[in-house]
Amino acid sequence: MTAEAVDTSSPDVSDPTAVVDDCELFLASPTATLVARDVIAQDNTMPLAEAARRGTGLLTESAWDLTARERACGGPLLVGAAPFDPGAPTRLTVARDIHWGPPLVRANYAAATAVPRAVRVDLVPWPARYMAGVERAVARIAGLSQHKVVLSRAIDVITAEPTRVRDVVRSLLSGEPDAYVFAVPVGTVRAGARRVLVGASPELVIRRIGRSVLSNPLAGSAPRSADPVEDRRRAWTLQHSSKDLLEHRIVVDAVTQALRPFCAALDVPDRPSVIRTSRMWHLSTKVRGVLADPLPNALELAAALHPTPAVCGWPTAVARQVIAESETFDRQYYTGLTGWMNESGDGEWVLALRCAELADTQLRLYAGAGVVSGSDPASELAETTAKFHTFLAAIGLEDAVATTSSAEVVRR
């Protein structure tokens, strides 16, 4: 038998960001770059737990259709997005044309200059109403030291011309050296235009490679300052803030509890470290584990963890109820998961944070903050404002939107 000669080089993708507008997943992580294109199969009906059970089966069924070259390049790959609500359908795609590359040199990318002009900006809800929601949540959990609720808000932007996903992705890459920069289609609007979730997430929910798992919960945050002395002071204060350490501990405990049944060994540092994005300081813990048999796949692990208290709260049922009562919009894919899984069950799923949904001339940006007993509504509002700035900067609207004012919101 003669072995088939296989060209194992990835398909020609010299700049992966060039194909972002028509791919099924773009994910630039600190360790690799992934572009997945060319749909073989799609399913938009299964909640996350069912998708996790059937995910590897979907891949195996699709594998027959692939050429040797496609297989050698990493296909087939399951990619997609799961919404915040784990009971709502997950959007899964099996893609055949896979490009894996090294981490992108982000200094090679520049902030987009030709960004479409905003013709309308709306804050959802008005800041005063957001703060009232925080106040009610604080009253609800007053004195309950293990309770937490993440409350979010949105900004709707209408632009004069459609926003190109690749421009936003390049801007995010240039501004966020360490983030998971992602773009994933989540549906279509009239005339077939794609709805795409685009963002620069700092948070890894799960990476499974063989028996090794890593989860990197973040919780407890402070906005960065342009003054380096003040910036360091804020990082120090965050690391010593009992409110933020509690908020963080709640998330780490929940992640540990969810992973423990799957692991033969689990390493959980006693104290968080502090990490930075361009706009925020975050408390961060890297939870590492070695999986026991039978090996769960990456989506099964993601389903066991989602939604963590980093995006929902604790206890989960109470937090979900407060979110449903307080938030004035449906989060859809914001605070959900996006990522990939291969036939062996390896994969990587990140939280959809610091993101927006783009559809033609419409954008909806999202940001949230963790509320615990004793949280101050004005500080939580300021935290969400700082988080919005990651994306506002990427679309050139940082100076144009007064995110905390309930007066005129577009400064022309």
- Residues 6 or more apart whose Cβ sits within 8 Å of residue 12: none
In terms of CB distance, is 99 or 387 closer to ligand ISC?
A: 387
Angle in degrees, 0-180, between the axes of helices 242-259 and 298-305, rounded to the nearest 10: 130
**Distance in Å, CB of 255 to ligand ISC, minimum:** 12
φ/ψ of residue 226, rounded to 5: -70, -25
Residue 150 within binding range of ligand ISC, rule CB under 6 A: yes
Question: In this chain, which of 131, 218, 299, 409 binds ligand ISC, going by CB under 6 A?
Answer: 218
d(CA 312, CA 86): 11
In terms of CB distance, is 90 or 221 closer to ligand ISC?
A: 221
Half-sphere exposure (Cβ direction) of 86: Cα atoms closer than 13 Å? 18
Question: In this chain, which of 16, 175, 370, 377 binds ligand ISC, going by CB under 6 A?
Answer: 370
Question: In this chain, which of 74, 220, 347, 377 binds ligand ISC, going by CB under 6 A?
Answer: 220
Residue 219 within binding range of ligand ISC, rule CB under 6 A: yes
Residue 353 within binding range of ligand ISC, rule CB under 6 A: yes
In terms of CB distance, is 46 or 367 closer to ligand ISC?
A: 367
Q: Are 200 and 354 in contact (CB under 8 A)?
A: yes
**Distance in Å, CB of 305 to ligand ISC, minimum:** 14
Q: Are 352 and 83 in contact (CB under 8 A)?
A: no
**E strand segments, 231-272:** 263-267
Give Rg (Cα) of the chain: 21
In terms of CB distance, is 95 or 154 closer to ligand ISC?
A: 154
Instruction: Of 310, 393, 367, 400, give the one whose Cα is nearest residue 154.
Output: 367
Give the active site residues.
Answer: 148, 203
In terms of CB distance, is 116 or 313 closer to ligand ISC?
A: 313
Which DSSP letter does residue 60 get?
A: H
In terms of CB distance, is 311 or 319 closer to ligand ISC?
A: 311
In terms of CB distance, is 147 or 354 closer to ligand ISC?
A: 354
Q: Are 21 and 164 in contact (CB under 8 A)?
A: yes
Residue tagged 């073989």 (tokens):
40
**Distance in Å, CB of 394 to ligand ISC, minimum:** 14
Residue 311 within binding range of ligand ISC, rule CB under 6 A: yes
Question: In this chain, which of 85, 203, 348, 357 binds ligand ISC, going by CB under 6 A?
Answer: 203
Question: In this chain, which of 153, 208, 331, 354 binds ligand ISC, going by CB under 6 A?
Answer: 354
**Distance in Å, CB of 367 to ligand ISC, minimum:** 4
- Identify which range of 102-110, 118-126, 339-347, 362-370 contacts ligand ISC by CB under 6 A: 362-370
Write down how long the chain is: 412
**Distance in Å, CB of 167 to ligand ISC, minimum:** 22
Site size for ligand ISC, by CB under 6 A? 17
**Distance in Å, CB of 356 to ligand ISC, minimum:** 11
Taking the CB of residue 114, how many other CB atoms lie within 10 A of it? 8
d(CA 151, CA 149): 6
- Identify which range of 66-74, 132-140, 164-172, 363-371 contacts ligand ISC by CB under 6 A: 363-371
Residue 369 within binding range of ligand ISC, rule CB under 6 A: yes
Residue tagged 């299964």 (tokens):
46
Half-sphere exposure (Cβ direction) of 349: Cα atoms closer than 13 Å? 34
Angle in degrees, 0-180, between the axes of helices 127-141 and 316-326, rounded to the nearest 10: 150
Angle in degrees, 0-180, between the axes of helices 48-63 and 298-305, rounded to the nearest 10: 170
**Distance in Å, CB of 134 to ligand ISC, minimum:** 12
Q: What residue ranges bind ligand ISC (CB under 6 A)?
A: 150, 152, 203, 218-221, 282, 310-311, 353-354, 367-370, 387
